[in-house]
């Protein structure tokens, strides 16, 4: 089945580029990836040359309570010019809703794609839920990044056979540690330095672990954000017990080396539909300490297998950390398990899940046409 796919997405993080390349390279697929912006205002990445069908829409961003809302009416003209067989939307911003309305008006199969989970969307208001019910009722297939996302869709009454999985992933080979790797840093925190990510808690874990071990520990913070000054002040007060390194924003190419230099990855987020940093950590062979609020918890990171899932309790986190830092056999077992878990999350699987959903959508909405089309 030959497919012309339009996928509407907010922005383009560097780790997603290979996914779009893999999707564009699937047999019989012609891709139009439409991005609302090159990067949202709190992002710092650089976009390299892209080798897949794409278009950056004329940027129109509204900021409401710290959240970026994309409003790109130009998406309609872009879709009209491409004439897709299937339209995929990756969110519920106005831009996505314009694309959804275009699909309904032109009787083009629509696929709803989300990274969200039951846990990450538990705080949504009635209006947001009403919009989702409206979109889901007129969609032909559904794509989720995780088991939690599959449950979210099914919670809106979506049939299980209409749900497909497209995992979030990274280039595992680039992050894989070599035998020459020297794990020089006890803890690694990688993410925006802001309250929802809890970088201050991460430091408190390093401090409590130092007290448990009776020696100083070390932690590296990779990222930037509004809590950096407060974090630096806290680190300065406890410099005798915790050696703190601030790496700031780091290019995607530098990240493998940074992960490979660490022993444990701290992911104390208060809200993350998934958490690709955990993919990076697992691929680099790090045990991961994470909260239940991350989508990776219980899926990519399994308690006691390749990390620990705990609420934000410094004593619990530091007890797990101290044990891993002193018991080489346990650290080695969890490290091996992390690498094995990450290996199942690949760009080929991610692209395949989207194509399967699109084929299902076409067959459901246009069964005769789907049956008559030549297969790739």
Three-state SS for 257-282 is HHHHCEEEEEECCCCECCCHHHHHHH
Q: Name every residue whose Cβ is closer than 8 Å to that of residue 77 and which is 6 or more positions away in sequence.
A: none
Predicted model pTM: 0.91
What Rg do the C-alpha atoms of the chain give, in angstroms?
A: 22
pLDDT digits (tens, 9 = 90+) for 222-243: 999 999 999 999 999 999 999 9
Under the banding of pLDDT at 50, 70 and 90, the label for residue 41 is confident
User: How many CA atoms does the CB half-sphere of 18 hold within 13 Å?
Assistant: 16
CA distance 304 to 321: 12
Pair of tokens at residue 353? 């899940």
Q: Name every residue whose Cβ is closer than 8 Å to that of residue 313 and which is 6 or more positions away in sequence.
A: none
Whether residue 127 has pLDDT greater than 90: yes
For residues 138-159, give the mean pLDDT. Answer: 95
H or E element: which one contains 18?
helix 17-24
Give the CATH number of domain 172-342; options: 3.40.50.2000, 3.40.190.10, 3.40.50.970, 3.40.30.10. Answer: 3.40.50.2000
Q: Which CATH architecture has domain 3-169+346-372?
A: 3-Layer(aba) Sandwich (3.40)
Q: Name every residue whose Cβ is closer than 8 Å to that of residue 318 and which is 6 or more positions away in sequence.
A: 205, 208, 209, 211, 212
* Conformational region of residue 229, where left means phi above 0, alpha means psi within -120 to 50, and beta covers everything else: alpha
pLDDT given for residue 61 in this prediction = 81
Whether residue 374 has pLDDT greater than 90: no
Residue 119's closest CA among 372, 316, 371, 297? 297
CA distance 188 to 210: 15
Lowest mean pLDDT among 51-65, 181-195, 252-266, 292-306: 51-65
Whether residue 171 has pLDDT greater than 60: yes
Which part of the chain has CATH 3.40.50.2000?
A: 3-169+346-372, 172-342
Whether residue 46 has pLDDT greater than 90: no
For residues 101-127, give the mean pLDDT. Answer: 95
Under the banding of pLDDT at 50, 70 and 90, the label for residue 67 is confident
pLDDT digits (tens, 9 = 90+) for 299-308: 999 999 999 9
For residues 204-221, give the mean pLDDT. Answer: 98
Pair of tokens at residue 349? 């699987």
CA distance 72 to 32: 16
Pair of tokens at residue 125? 């208001």
DSSP code at position 197? G
Whether residue 12 has pLDDT greater than 70: yes
pLDDT given for residue 367 in this prediction = 64
For residues 179-206, give the mean pLDDT. Answer: 94
pLDDT digits (tens, 9 = 90+) for 330-360: 999 999 999 999 999 999 999 999 999 999 9
DSSP code at position 219? E
For residues 73-81, give the mean pLDDT. Answer: 97
Whether residue 126 has pLDDT greater than 70: yes
CA distance 84 to 5: 5
Whether residue 376 has pLDDT greater than 80: no
CB atoms within 10 A of CB 292: 13
What is the residue-averaged pLDDT of the chain?
Answer: 94
pLDDT given for residue 368 in this prediction = 56
């Amino acid at each position: 089945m030959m497919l012309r796919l339009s996928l509407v997405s907010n922005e383009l993080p560097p780790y997603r580029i290979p996914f779009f390349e893999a999707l564009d390279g699937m047999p019989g697929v012609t891709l139009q990836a439409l991005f609302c912006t090159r990067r949202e205002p709190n992002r710092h990445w650089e976009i390299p040359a892209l080798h897949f069908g794409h278009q950056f829409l004329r940027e129109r961003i509204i900021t409401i309570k710290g959240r970026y809302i994309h409003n790109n009416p130009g998406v309609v003209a872009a879709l009209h010019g491409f004439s897709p067989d299937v339209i995929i939307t990756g969110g519920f911003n106005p831009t996505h809703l314009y694309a959804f309305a275009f699909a309904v008006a032109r009787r083009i199969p629509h696929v709803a794609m989300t990274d969200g989970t039951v846990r990450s969307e538990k705080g949504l208001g009635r209006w947001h839920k009403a919009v989702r019910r409206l979109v889901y009722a007129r969609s032909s297939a559904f794509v989720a990044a995780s088991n939690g996302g599959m449950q979210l869709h099914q919670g809106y009454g979506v049939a299980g056979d209409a749900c497909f999985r497209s995992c979030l992933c990274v280039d595992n080979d680039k992050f894989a540690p070599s035998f020459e790797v020297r794990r020089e840093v006890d803890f690694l925190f990688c993410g925006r330095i802001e309250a929802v990510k809890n970088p201050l808690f991460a430091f408190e874990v390093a401090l409590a672990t130092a007290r448990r071990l009776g020696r100083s520990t070390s932690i590296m913070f990779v990222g930037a954000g509004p809590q950096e000054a407060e974090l630096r002040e806290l680190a300065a007060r406890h410099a005798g017990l915790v050696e703190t390194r601030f790496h700031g924003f780091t290019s995607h190419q530098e990240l493998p080396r940074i992960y490979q230099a660490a022993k444990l990855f701290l992911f104390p987020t208060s809200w993350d539909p998934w958490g690709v940093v955990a993919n990076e950590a697992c691929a680099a062979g790090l045990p991961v300490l994470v909260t239940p609020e991350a989508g990776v918890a219980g899926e990519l990171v399994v308690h006691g297998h390749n990390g620990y899932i705990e609420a934000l309790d410094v004593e619990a986190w530091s007890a797990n950390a101290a044990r891993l830092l002193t018991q080489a056999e346990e650290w080695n077992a969890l490290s091996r398990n992390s690498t094995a878990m990450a290996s199942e999350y690949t760009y080929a699987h991610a692209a395949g899940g989207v194509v399967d959903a699109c084929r299902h959508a076409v067959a459901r909405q246009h069964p005769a046409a789907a049956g008559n089309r030549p297969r790739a």
